[in-house]
Amino acid sequence: MYYELLKAIDEANTAKVCLLKSTSAGKVFCAGADLKELVGLLTQQKKEGFVRYNKAMLGMAVAKPITIAFWDGIVMGGGAGISVNCNVKIATENTVFGMPEAKLGYFTNVGASYFLSRFRKNIGLFLAMTAYSLKGKEACQVGVADYFVHSKDLPALEAEIEKLSQIPTVNEALIRETVEKFAEKVEGVYEGEDLIAEIFQGKDVHEVLEKLKQESQKNAVVKKWYEDVLQCCPLSHLYDFELLRRGKELNLHEGLSLEDYLALKINFSDFTEGVRTVLVDKGSKPRWSVSYDELKKQKVEDYFPEKLQLIDYANRDKF
């Protein structure tokens, strides 16, 4: 699958326009990697399976053609990473965009340090820590999707894009002008964003968790957020807070390099435990390597590199 993806990106670079869509329209755009397969790699001590896809994420982000994503279904994990940097992102009523790694004992990867950190009003950190998803128009409200088009109208829009791709002088402005004819106007306000901006900020993740705890005692909405945050892996929150804090100052290449560093250094017992409780023994209580009380003793410098080293993705096929 990995090499097929790289080949597809190479082929796309010979085109003027590249459209990303799913063969299961309305259900799944791309939900990322096969998590059970990744757990299998861990049992074989093959941690490289966690980092190899970032070459594809960067390759798609810098692809030469005008790239367009039809997010008609679930867009999670690697599905988000491979498409979130497209020139034009189109959500539908079926869109479910999210990075649920905290539930799985992992961290928001595939470039999320770059794109989630750029969501306004700390919405990126909110989504990372709660493992919530953006549904339908919410993707446009947050700004991660550019347009909202009803699923039934996508075939007609695709036909128009196909015509435009035959024009030698086709450009992004012309593509957008065409998409706008099919798009429904969406107000750019996400529910609760001002409260999110206030709570999901602080000098460290411990301050955010304390804000959630205090505010949950008097606000039913925050109470639900806090309960859901506590269902996730404690160390995932430490990773995500610091990744998004640093990510604001990093470009995509730097962000991917930092994520790859973490992918090879973290304790994978949390990931295997998360996959077990979410996908195998559904509903069972996870046993994380670090409790929320113990999280207070954890130091960021014990997990993150003192100096970031860029990875040469162009020449990276072996590990």
> Angle 125-117-28 (CA atoms, 0-180°, nearest 5)?
75
Alpha carbons 232 and 131: distance in angstroms, whole number: 8
Segments in the chain forming alpha helices (H): 2-12, 35-43, 54-61, 78-83, 112-115, 123-130, 138-142, 154-165, 172-182, 193-199, 205-216, 220-230, 234-247, 252-265, 269-275, 292-295
What per-residue confidence (pLDDT) applies to 319? 34
Residue labelled with tokens 């030469």: 64
- Identify the CATH homologous superfamily for domain 2-315: 2-enoyl-CoA Hydratase; Chain A, domain 1 (3.90.226.10)
What is the Cβ-side half-sphere exposure of residue 118, based on CA atoms within 13 angstroms?
Answer: 14
Domain boundaries, the chain: 2-315
Task: Look at the block and give the residue holding tokens 């008097």.
Answer: 218
Cβ proximity of 57 and 7 under 8 Å: no
- Please report the pLDDT score of residue 7 as a whole number: 73
Instruction: Give the bridge partners for 96, in sequence order.
Output: 74, 135
Question: Which residues, in sequence order, are CB contacts of 201 under 8 Å at separation 6+?
Answer: 122, 125, 208
Q: Is the pTM of this model over 0.75?
A: yes
Residue 53 confidence (pLDDT): 73
Nearest alpha-carbon partner for 79 in 20, 19, 143, 15: 20
pLDDT at 10 (0 to 100) = 79
Looking at residue 5, its pLDDT comes to 66
SS3 label, residue 175:
helix
Long-range contacts of 213-219, Cβ-Cβ distance < 8 Å, separation of 24 or more: 219/195
CA 21, 23, 29, 33: dihedral to nearest 10 degrees?
Answer: -120
CA distance 233 to 102: 6
| 29 SS3 class | strand
The residues, any chain, with a CB within 8 Å of residue 30's CB and separated by 6 or more, are 22, 74, 75, 76, 78, 79, 82, 83
Among the listed residues 35, 97, 74, the one whose alpha carbon sits nearest the alpha carbon of residue 273: 35
Q: What is the mean pLDDT of each run of 10 residues along the chain (319 residues)?
A: 66 87 84 61 54 80 93 94 96 97 94 98 98 98 98 98 96 98 97 98 97 98 98 97 98 96 87 87 88 95 94 70
Q: How many CB atoms lie within 10 A of CB 67?
A: 22
Rounded Cα distance between 270 and 199, Å, is 26
The helix (H) or strand (E) run that includes residue 189 is none
**Residue 295, CA distances (Å) to 150, 210, 306 in order:** 44, 12, 20
